Structures are given as structure tokens and as C-alpha cells.
């Protein structure tokens, strides 16, 4: 398969080597921009996926070297997901920068420290700045629902399914009929909709284009997960 520049998309299947130190610095860079240098863990997951997706779109390669997977609640980066959730023991690079997850929140370990992001190059920080500028103000619910509109994500009832890098690039190159701003505008009121089960069900059905059974199951999962 070829992209518009004439290079083979299949070549990007050979993922960049996963670099925990760089991934930790990406997370710290984003957290440093957040109020109180902390944010919901799901929001950090989505921002990092958006940054990796933009890196594929701009440079044809992953920023993190991580592998993307479809999971029930949207696309995620595999080992990044495990790092955020504390599932990888002896993660010295991550643990030196990021505090252990507390409930649904993740934070910088030493927010007053001046960090040296030696693993991040100018193209990386440019993407991270752009992603945070465009999406950093959004609620994690809105971000999660937004990523469910991505063509590369596969709806699953459980487990996970790998997302090939070529599929991400193909989805970004193809684009959508609606702009990011138009999609976000339609779902920005989602947090308020969670206060009413029927309103949430209708909102999700409209946003995701699922049948009634799938929408109800997903909405119930959201309510259970976030204690609505």
C-alpha cells in the first residue's frame, strides 16, 4: 500500500523501538501543561494516542514506538496503558517522573522540578504542543468519545485487537467528511448528558452511529466504570 508521497505504508509496520524513557517524558511534558500538573488517567491516555496518531500522519512513524490496540473504551497505546496503570514493575524511567496512579488521576511526581526533556526532539514537542492546545481543555469523556469516531478503531465487547500502523496512516490520510472542530462541538456537552441515562444513550447513539443494543451496552459500561 502506498501513501500520497509514494512511500510504502506497509514499511511502517516495523514499529520504532519502544522507549520507556521517551514515553515517560512525553507523559511528563503533557502533565506539566495541565492544571496542577495532573489529569484523569484516561485523558492522558487519549492525549498520548492523539500525539502518536499525529506523528504517524506527519512523519510516518510512531513517536512512542508503542503498539496501538482497540479496546472496549477506545484506542490505546499498549505499554503506555500498562505504565499508566502500574502494570509494569521496576519501571525506573516512568517512576522517576510520574506518580503512581491515584484512583482515576495521574500526576507529575515533582511538579516544581525543572525537567530536561532530552529524548524529545523539536518535531515531538511541536506535535505535543499542538495536541494539548487543541484537545487539552476537553473533558476525558469528550476525548474518549472523539477517539471512537476514528476509522482505525474496532468496536469490541471485550479483550483487545491490534491496530496496524498502516491502518492509522490510511485513516488519517483519508480524513473524514467533518472537521475535528465539528465533531468536538457535537460531543462537548457529553459530560452533562451523563446525568440523564436516556440523554446519554441518545447522545452516544448519535455520535457513534451504533445500533440500540450496542449503544445501551456501551453507555452502561461507561456508567459502571465512572460511577454514574
Residues of the chain above pLDDT 70, percent = 70
> What is the rounded CA–CA span in Å between residue 125 and residue 146?
23
Grid cell at residue 126: 511541536
> What is the rounded CA–CA span in Å between residue 165 and residue 99?
30
DSSP 186: H
Query: Could you tell me if residue 110 is inside a domain?
Result: yes
The closest alpha carbon to 77, from 118, 126, 22, belongs to 22
Tell me if 170 sits within 8 A of 183, measured CB to CB.
no
> What is the rounded CA–CA span in Å between residue 187 and residue 207?
7
Tell me if 3 sits within 8 A of 58, measured CB to CB.
no
Query: Could you tell me if residue 210 is inside a domain?
Result: no
Query: Could you tell me if residue 45 is inside a domain?
Result: yes
Tell me if 105 sits within 8 A of 41, measured CB to CB.
yes
pLDDT of residue 4: 41
Question: Taken in order 127, 64, 12, 134, is the CA torsion positive or negative?
Answer: negative
* Domain count for the chain: 1
Query: Could you tell me if residue 111 is inside a domain?
Result: yes
The closest alpha carbon to 11, from 60, 68, 65, belongs to 60
Banded pLDDT at 187 (limits 50, 70, 90): low
pLDDT tens-digit series, residues 67-112:
999 987 789 999 999 999 988 877 899 999 999 999 989 999 988 8
> What is the rounded CA–CA span in Å between residue 177 and residue 182?
10
pLDDT for residue 165 is more than 60: yes
In terms of pLDDT, which residue wins out, 148 or 14?
Answer: 148
> What is the rounded CA–CA span in Å between residue 225 and residue 40?
13
Query: Could you tell me if residue 106 is inside a domain?
Result: yes
Query: Could you tell me if residue 92 is inside a domain?
Result: yes
76: containing domain: 9-140+154-175
pLDDT for residue 65 is more than 80: yes
Grid cell at residue 127: 506535535
Alpha helices in 114-211 (DSSP H): 122-135, 140-147, 165-174, 180-187, 190-193, 197-208
Query: Could you tell me if residue 194 is inside a domain?
Result: no
Alpha helices in the chain (DSSP H): 20-33, 41-59, 78-84, 92-97, 122-135, 140-147, 165-174, 180-187, 190-193, 197-208, 212-226
Query: Could you tell me if residue 215 is inside a domain?
Result: no
Amino acid at each position: 500500500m502506498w501513501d500520497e508521497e509514494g512511500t510504502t505504508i506497509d514499511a511502517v509496520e516495523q514499529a520504532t523501538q519502544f522507549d520507556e524513557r521517551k514515553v515517560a517524558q512525553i507523559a511528563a511534558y503533557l502533565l506539566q501543561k495541565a492544571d496542577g500538573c495532573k489529569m484523569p488517567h484516561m485523558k492522558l491516555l487519549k492525549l498520548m494516542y492523539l500525539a502518536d496518531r499525529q506523528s504517524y500522519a506527519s512523519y510516518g512513524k510512531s513517536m512512542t514506538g508503542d503498539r496501538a490496540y482497540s479496546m472496549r473504551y477506545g484506542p490505546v497505546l499498549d505499554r503506555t496503558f500498562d505504565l499508566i496503570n502500574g502494570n509494569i514493575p521496576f519501571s525506573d524511567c516512568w517512576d522517576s517522573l510520574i506518580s503512581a496512579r491515584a484512583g482515576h488521576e495521574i500526576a507529575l511526581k515533582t511538579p516544581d522540578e525543572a525537567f530536561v526533556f532530552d529524548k524529545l526532539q523539536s518535531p515531538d514537542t511541536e506535535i505535543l504542543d499542538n495536541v494539548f492546545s487543541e484537545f487539552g481543555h476537553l473533558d476525558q469523556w469528550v476525548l474518549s468519545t472523539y477517539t471512537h469516531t476514528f476509522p482505525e478503531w474496532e468496536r469490541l465487547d471485550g479483550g483487545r485487537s491490534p491496530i496496524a500502523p498502516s491502518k492509522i496512516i490510511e485513516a488519517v490520510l483519508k480524513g473524514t467528511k467533518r472537521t475535528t472542530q465539528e465533531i468536538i462541538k457535537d460531543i462537548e456537552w457529553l459530560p452533562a448528558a451523563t446525568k440523564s441515562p436516556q440523554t446519554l444513550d441518545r447522545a452516544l447513539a448519535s455520535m457513534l452511529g451504533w445500533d440500540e443494543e450496542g449503544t445501551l451496552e456501551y453507555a452502561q459500561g461507561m456508567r459502571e466504570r465512572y460511577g454514574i
